[in-house]
């Protein structure tokens, strides 16, 4: 790509965007059209209708639950694609061809004892913080994704200390397969419960059945959190080469 073409493409992208941006209302303007219609309804009626004091969780898990369903399917599909790309055919894995393949099995270098000690000491606190973020997600900033990613980072750290490759991973493979599918399965289960309660897929009951509504949202958050954590651990393990 010669420089003239690159400059032309950058100008063709930048000039219309800057011209469009100059005509937008000032960021922070309370009278801007973006705050007028649907968002104003969510701010006014959101707590009563969705049962979540954290309006972002209410929008994600109640008003726009189908988008969240699509999103958990996307990250699950990403893990499936990474597994498909980085899987080695069964005859070529080192150590599995009965001595015909004479390249030695790759061993990871030993972990420094300082790193192992710090990880073992801080792991319970990180797990507690992740559980706090997950379960207080509907009244406090946080929710399923945030807690799930913190839990996934904790699992990555632990697999550095405890996991020993494909023969002895941190989460055994059949359990790992079910946990990675936990988020889409939880959404499907709650969708069926929604059909039974209101007649709509993923339909949430109103304020009359308040505890049931809160229980459905907590189940969704737990499913998203556990699913995201084990999916992130799976991505980490594929990227490391086991």
Partner 1 sequence: MSQGFDLVMLALLIGMAVAVARSKDLIAAAIIFSGYSLVMCLLWQHRGAPDVAMTEAAIGAGVTTILVLLAIGRTRRREK
Partner 2 sequence: MVGLWLNIDYAAFVALFCIGLYVVLAKQNLIKKLLGLNIMETAVFAFIVTSGMVDFGAAPIISDDTTGPFASPLPHALILTGIVVALSITALALSLIVEIYRRCGTIEADELKGVE
86 token code pair: 């980085």
Nearest CA-CA partner of 58 in 149, 146, 141, 182: 141
Whether 75 and 210 have beta carbons less than 8 Å apart is answered as: no
**CA angle (215, 218, 222) in 5-degree steps:** 140
Task: Examine residue 42 and tell whether it contacts partner 2 (CB under 8 A).
Answer: yes
Could you tell me the CA-to-CA distances from 236 to 160, 171, 219, 231 in Å, in that order? Answer: 10, 13, 26, 9
Nearest CA-CA partner of 157 in 123, 199, 205: 123
Per-residue binding letters, 108-127, with partner 1 (x by CB under 8 A): --------------------
Of 8-16, 94-102, 125-133, 162-170: span binding partner 2 (CB under 8 A): 8-16
Look at residue 12 and give the partner it binds from partner 1, partner 2, none, a contact being a CB closer than 5 to 8 Å depending on partner kind: none
Binds partner 1 by CB under 8 A, chosen from 16, 94, 141, 210: 141
Binds partner 2 by CB under 8 A, chosen from 51, 133, 145, 157: 145
> Closest CB to partner 1 among 129 and 162?
129
Task: Examine residue 46 and tell whether it contacts partner 1 (CB under 8 A).
Answer: no
Task: Examine residue 239 and tell whether it contacts partner 1 (CB under 8 A).
Answer: yes
| Shortest distance (Å) from residue 124 CB to partner 2 | 26
Binds partner 1 by CB under 8 A, chosen from 65, 150, 224, 225: 150
For 153-221, give the DSSP string: HHHHHHHHHT--GGGS-SS-HHHHHHHHTHHHHHHHHHHHHHHHHHSSTTPPP-GGGHHHHHHHHHHHH
Per-residue binding letters, 46-65, with partner 2 (x by CB under 8 A): xx-----xxxx-xxx---x-
Look at residue 139 and give the partner it binds from partner 1, partner 2, none, a contact being a CB closer than 5 to 8 Å depending on partner kind: partner 2
Q: Which of residues 51-90 bind partner 1 (CB under 8 A)?
A: 54, 56-57
CA separation for the pair 105, 97 (Å, rounded): 12
């Amino acid at each position: 790509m010669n420089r003239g073409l690159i400059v032309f493409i950058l100008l063709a992208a930048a000039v219309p965007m800057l011209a469009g941006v100059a005509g937008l209302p000032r960021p922070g303007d309370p009278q801007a059209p973006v705050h007028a219609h649907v968002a104003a309804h969510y701010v006014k009626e959101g707590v009563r209708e969705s049962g979540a004091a954290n309006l972002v969780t209410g929008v994600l898990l109640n008003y726009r639950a189908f988008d969240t369903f699509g999103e958990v399917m996307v990250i699950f599909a990403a893990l499936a694609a990474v597994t498909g790309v980085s899987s080695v055919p069964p005859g070529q894995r080192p150590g599995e061809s009965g001595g015909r393949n004479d390249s030695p099995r790759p061993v990871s270098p030993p972990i420094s004892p300082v790193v192992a000690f710090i990880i073992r000491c801080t792991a319970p606190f990180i797990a507690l913080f992740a559980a706090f973020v997950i379960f207080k997600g509907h009244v406090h900033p946080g929710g399923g994704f945030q807690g799930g990613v913190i839990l996934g980072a904790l699992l990555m750290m632990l697999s550095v200390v405890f996991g020993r490759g494909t023969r002895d991973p941190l989460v055994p493979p059949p359990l790992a397969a079910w946990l990675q599918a936990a988020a889409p399965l939880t959404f499907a289960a709650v969708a069926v419960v929604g059909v039974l309660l209101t007649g709509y897929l993923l339909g949430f009951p109103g304020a009359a059945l308040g505890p049931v509504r809160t229980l459905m949202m907590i189940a969704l958050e737990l499913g998203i959190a556990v699913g995201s954590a084990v999916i992130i651990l799976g991505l980490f393990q594929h990227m490391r080469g086991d």
